[in-house]
Structure 1
Amino acid sequence: MQKSTFWKKAITAATLLSVLLAGCSGAGSSSPGDPTANTDTDKVQPAAQQEITVAVSGDVGLDRLDAGAYDGSMNVHAMIYDGLVQYGEKGQIEPALAESWEISEDGKTYTFHLRQGVKFSDGSDFNAEAVKFSFERWIHDPSNSLTVATAMQSLEIVDDHTVQMTFDRAYYPLLTELTFARPVRIISPNAVEPAGDSQGTFVKPIGTGAWMADSYKTDQEAVLVRNPNYWGDAPKLSKITLKVIPDPQSRVLALQSGEVDLAGGQMSRLPLESLPVIENEASLERLRSPGTSSHFLVYNGSNPDLQDVNVRKAINLAIDKSSIVNDLMGGIGSEAKGLFPSTVPYVTESNSKGYGYDPEAARSRLAESGYTDTDGDGLVEKNGTPLKLSLVLQQVDFPEWKPMAELIQAELQNVGISVELQVLEPNAYYDALWTTKAYDMIVYRTYDDAYNPHSFLSSLFHRTGDTAAVAWSDAELEQLIDTALASTEEKKRQGTYDQIFARMDGQAMFASLYYPDDLFVFNKRLRGVEAGYTTFEPILWNRLEVME
């Protein structure tokens, strides 16, 4: 597809208007100090100068950012397109393009009342027809595994500002799925050719979000400008340039030189070894945000030694989680307890206590099951066979896993368990995890934010058809997961999740390692730097502003 005149750099009348509009509101900042107090020498720049550059690790795919497809940057999807609902703190479902909704008593019918007076960035009207058009672009795609797609029986237009969706089952995460960055967000019927054809060819991104596309250079940069038709509080910035910088160390240099104003999170990871450099840079500030994922060990349940719950508990007790966080991660994160951190819905202090660090208790657990060091070589044996396990990992996507695995190796050796490390290339690593099961233990991580806990538990700890669960098979756990997913009452659902986490913890179905924080670094000329609630909306962009 040839690029249309949309991608030309010439500033359109709409762009001129968006540059001239001053931001009108915004909440406080998470940055250090008092971010809301401006002094005589700390003033907001004029609207025309409210521009920043943000580092991204790869091409954002602005020319293929179809709201109904799994292509392009999720971060930019979420900036240009709105959903019917949005994901708030700890999974709270908040209104977006739908001001309110009702769910039938049986949990199968959802009626959404749409926000009125909303327009797309091209000035066309948002209404129920646009919702139907958007959903029909992906709802019948057989490759789409979202329950909102596979379970939907009908989508009816009640009137211009009301739509009703009927599903074949009760499934409480339906609303959560509707918060995803893609493919559930709403796109203008004018974004395809021929216009209004749900099977039409995508031409350009046109959404109702706070930002709209301005220009794009593949593998170099994408420029977004303020949407003059945005229905919510107008962004304070007039322009955001997303600059592609693939190398992590180069991102640090770009921050130091002022080439970029902000980097970090999953959109542009920063190397932990560069933290001392960043801390000593007078022009830079850090923002740490508690993440929603965790890193942990998956056990291979087919290993006879690991079928013994005392062995699994001993491994948990032998690992010093505080050393992982403080000695290896530079304090960027927190000690893991349960499978998920407290930022995840339904996780509480009482249902995710974890095991702590107690090598003596670990040795006692092993001895209780007959694993003792009979020959004084430092390794425990049972029936004359030493307890030896393999630990599989990869370090291309997660370089911190190698030193972490080496620490685990030493700590398990300390309680008498021999561990052989196997570092694999990503393809071989994922093949081992999902297909061959060629490991005794493997380092893995949970999903993020809107996918936790329901989606991750379903994917890793629940069988699919006749195929056993990936991480750990347990019939009682699977029944509890099914009950939670079908629950229509919040209180009962919380009680079921309490049972789920208690079952997983009591049976030591995994070994928690650490909860990573998201780390952002920004130029001190920015104010209103506040972390978002999802990895695809890592920063509350609309609250950012530039100071003189």
Structure 2
Amino acid sequence: MKRAITFCLLLVFVLVTLLAGCVAPTSSPEAKEKVLRIATGKDDYTNSWGGKAVFCSEGLVMFDANMKIKPLLAESWKAEDEKIYTFQLRKVIKFHDGTPFNAQAVKYAFETYLKKSAIRDGIEAIETPDDYTVKFILKKPNPLFLSNLAVYEEILSPAAVKKALEEGVSEELIPQRVFVGTGPFKFSKWTKGQEVVFVKNEDYWQGEVKLDRIVLKIIPDPHTRVISLEAGEVDLIGNDPFSLILPQEVLRLQNNPEIRLYHRAAATTYGLEWFSFNTERGPFNDLQVRKAVKHAVNVREIVKAIFGNGEPVAKGPFPESSKFASPDLRSPEYNPDLAKRLLAQAGWSDTDNDGIVERNGKPFKITLGIGTRVPAWNIIAEMMQAQLKKVGIALEIETYEDQALREKWKKGEFDLIAQTSIGSPHDDPQWHFETYYSTHGGFGYPPVIRDEELDKYIGELKMAAGEERIRKYHAIQKRIEELVPGVYLFHEPMFAAAAKKLKNFEISPPVPWHRYQVLWKVDIEE
């Protein structure tokens, strides 16, 4: 009997063991970590307010994909005469360090690390009637106040800021040293020249963050970035100002079945490619000569060489989609015969038959300074060189690092200079005109032309709103067209390329500082 019982127990043990090997384990293995690898071209971009901050911190409002301002940390606002702005803040939001986001945090930001910002200069007072209400009282009406808030101002944890100040960090450097915000990702580490790492915010107020980590890889060469994407070493390129995809690479990426290409037409003056004349000295202090060069450059041929037939020629400083674009502007007319006649009227003729026109015995030889950030300028410059030669102008191309090129501009040491517009980074182009055309602005750079009428119109923008503002912009465009201080070529479109495993990715609005704000929605499906 004992032997029978022992046998039965042994049989049960064997059966249980066998069945255990056939049944799936009750506890699943850990899910694979979701890591998004982004290639960018410039390390100081990732170590700045505009780099790490866009992953980690947020402002009161933001631009959506259509460049419309929408609430972010503020849930609503009201404006009185564009001079008093009252924001109702969202509740139950916490900074990465667990401290609460509230009205006091907003006020503290503008009293410390934002107090020297351009937007702070226009604020008379900031009031906090309660924990979730902030009122900005401006010194004078400012139609750009909300746009400026959407572009520049992020709110950081007061506790983290105070700690940094106690450790000796200056207020001006706080945005470059403190990244404790309310955003979907937390700063983890920075390996200089190699990568920046962010980890998900488990308690993000807008919802679940799908990605576990973001690794921002520093790859300066644009061709190498494309190769890295094709090889599966990175997952996303082109979505920030320092990882632009070269036009000649676009077709190649379009034909890759493992990659999805995203395109967004230009919507602001940011990324406008053009060249300006040195109107402070000869030969381009002569309007007739500037007009001659304008008609000698075949802009349509240049744009086609860079983009094929897919991108339009710039008619002016605004893309045609802009509400501020004048309907009266026309594409530049390529007319080399007219260019020759204009040169002759200005006293330039080829008296020695060497193919180069001269005046008073001096040949028409000029330089074009270009930078290195936008590779398309190599193509543009060589085509301009050939086109200008047809009307008797000898063009020498000079290439500089971007900072050296800006110094040339600042000192007026150029004939023609390549311009990639640094403004406006939001939907209103006032900054563009203050930077390039106003004798009262320019951020240390001389205006491309000095003109009292133009100055008057630009100055009036500060108070103009609505339809009056649009009329001012139309007047500015008409005056610029008359003065010909430069030649507009094209508004740089935006291309981003991503591995197809990325889900819910949308190419960001053309606001250079904020192109990664919506990555919390992105998922990876292998």
Q: Considering the TM-score relative to the shorter chain, is it more than 0.5?
A: yes
Give 1:61 shift: 8.3
Aligned CA distance change for structure 1 residues 101 and 336 (closer, same or farther; 3 Å): same
Q: 2:454 aligns with which of 466, 471, 477?
A: 477
- In the alignment, residue 55 of structure 1 is paired with which amino acid? A
Partner Cα separation in structure 1 for residue 178 and residue 484 of structure 2? 49
1:66 aligned residue: none
- In the alignment, residue 422 of structure 1 is paired with which amino acid? E
- In the alignment, residue 185 of structure 1 is paired with which amino acid? E
1:103–1:110 Cα contact (<8 Å) kept: yes
1:355 aligned residue: 332
1:450 aligned residue: 425
Aligned CA distance change for structure 1 residues 386 and 360 (closer, same or farther; 3 Å): same
Partner Cα separation in structure 1 for residue 68 and residue 166 of structure 2? 34
Partner Cα separation in structure 1 for residue 262 and residue 467 of structure 2? 34
Q: 1:168 aligns with which of 126, 139, 143?
A: 139
- In the alignment, residue 389 of structure 1 is paired with which amino acid? I
2:200 aligned residue: 226
Partner Cα separation in structure 2 for residue 93 and residue 286 of structure 1? 26
- In the alignment, residue 287 of structure 1 is paired with which amino acid? Y
Secondary structure of 1:493 counterpart? helix
1:246 aligned residue: 220
Partner Cα separation in structure 1 for residue 327 and residue 210 of structure 2? 41
Partner Cα separation in structure 1 for residue 445 and residue 252 of structure 2? 47
- In the alignment, residue 450 of structure 1 is paired with which amino acid? P
Give 1:47 shift: 7.7
1:404 aligned to 2:364? Answer: no
1:153–1:167 Cα contact (<8 Å) kept: yes
1:501 aligned residue: 477
- In the alignment, residue 274 of structure 2 is paired with which amino acid? F
Partner Cα separation in structure 2 for residue 209 and residue 92 of structure 1? 20
1:390 aligned to 2:359? Answer: no
User: Taking every aligned residue pair, what percent have the same amino acid on both sides?
Assistant: 28
1:265-321 Cα deviation digits (max 9, x unpaired): 424234555456544543223222224411111111122432332322222222222
2:97 aligned residue: 122
2:326–2:477 Cα contact (<8 Å) kept: no
- In the alignment, residue 523 of structure 1 is paired with which amino acid? A
1:192 aligned residue: 161
Partner Cα separation in structure 2 for residue 261 and residue 322 of structure 1? 34
2:273 aligned residue: 295
Partner Cα separation in structure 2 for residue 325 and residue 485 of structure 1? 34
What pairs up with 1:195-344 in 2 under 5 angstroms? 204-265=178-239, 266-275=241-250, 277-291=252-266, 292-328=270-306, 334-342=312-320
2:247–2:306 Cα contact (<8 Å) kept: no
- In the alignment, residue 391 of structure 1 is paired with which amino acid? L
Aligned CA distance change for structure 1 residues 425 and 243 (closer, same or farther; 3 Å): closer
Secondary structure of 1:192 counterpart? helix
Which TM-score applies when normalising by structure 2?
Answer: 0.82
Partner Cα separation in structure 2 for residue 284 and residue 53 of structure 1? 14
Aligned CA distance change for structure 1 residues 60 and 156 (closer, same or farther; 3 Å): same
2:130 aligned residue: 159
1:60–1:222 Cα contact (<8 Å) kept: no
1:61–1:218 Cα contact (<8 Å) kept: no
Secondary structure of 1:538 counterpart? coil
2:40–2:242 Cα contact (<8 Å) kept: yes
1:351–1:501 Cα contact (<8 Å) kept: no
Secondary structure of 1:464 counterpart? coil
Partner Cα separation in structure 2 for residue 279 and residue 101 of structure 1? 43
Partner Cα separation in structure 1 for residue 525 and residue 32 of structure 2? 13
1:135-173 Cα deviation digits (max 9, x unpaired): 2222334xx4x1x12232322212211112233333322
2:263–2:496 Cα contact (<8 Å) kept: yes
Partner Cα separation in structure 2 for residue 164 and residue 60 of structure 1? 34
What pairs up with 1:121-140 in 2 under 5 angstroms? 121-140=96-115
Partner Cα separation in structure 2 for residue 427 and residue 199 of structure 1? 30
2:87 aligned residue: 112
Give the stretch that moved more between structures: 274-283 or 536-545: 274-283
Secondary structure of 1:531 counterpart? coil
Secondary structure of 1:537 counterpart? coil
Which TM-score applies when normalising by structure 1?
Answer: 0.79
Partner Cα separation in structure 2 for residue 366 and residue 180 of structure 1? 44
Aligned CA distance change for structure 1 residues 346 and 469 (closer, same or farther; 3 Å): farther
Give 1:254 shift: 1.9
Aligned length: 484
Aligned CA distance change for structure 1 residues 99 and 431 (closer, same or farther; 3 Å): same
Partner Cα separation in structure 1 for residue 236 and residue 299 of structure 2? 30
Structure (1 or 2) with the larger CA radius of gyration: 2
1:384-425 Cα deviation digits (max 9, x unpaired): 65443322223x323332332121111112123232333334
Partner Cα separation in structure 1 for residue 445 and residue 195 of structure 2? 44
Give the stretch that moved more between structures: 306-315 or 376-385: 376-385
1:239-271 Cα deviation digits (max 9, x unpaired): 322223334333223212212111124242345
Alpha-carbon RMSD across the aligned residues, in angstroms, is: 3.2
Aligned CA distance change for structure 1 residues 197 and 482 (closer, same or farther; 3 Å): farther
Partner Cα separation in structure 2 for residue 543 and residue 47 of structure 1? 18
1:510 aligned to 2:480? Answer: no
1:15 aligned residue: none
Partner Cα separation in structure 1 for residue 513 and residue 125 of structure 2? 28
Partner Cα separation in structure 1 for residue 67 and residue 351 of structure 2? 51
Secondary structure of 1:187 counterpart? coil
2:122–2:139 Cα contact (<8 Å) kept: yes
Partner Cα separation in structure 1 for residue 519 and residue 508 of structure 2? 9
1:342-373 Cα deviation digits (max 9, x unpaired): 45x54326154342323233334334545444
Partner Cα separation in structure 2 for residue 165 and residue 353 of structure 1? 42
- In the alignment, residue 157 of structure 1 is paired with which amino acid? T
Partner Cα separation in structure 2 for residue 384 and residue 217 of structure 1? 58
Partner Cα separation in structure 2 for residue 357 and residue 405 of structure 1? 16
2:407 aligned residue: 431
Which structure 2 residue ranges, 5 or more long, are not aligned? 1-29
1:461 aligned to 2:437? Answer: yes
- In the alignment, residue 417 of structure 1 is paired with which amino acid? I
Aligned CA distance change for structure 1 residues 209 and 352 (closer, same or farther; 3 Å): farther
Give the stretch that moved more between structures: 442-451 or 375-384: 375-384
Give 1:440 shift: 1.6
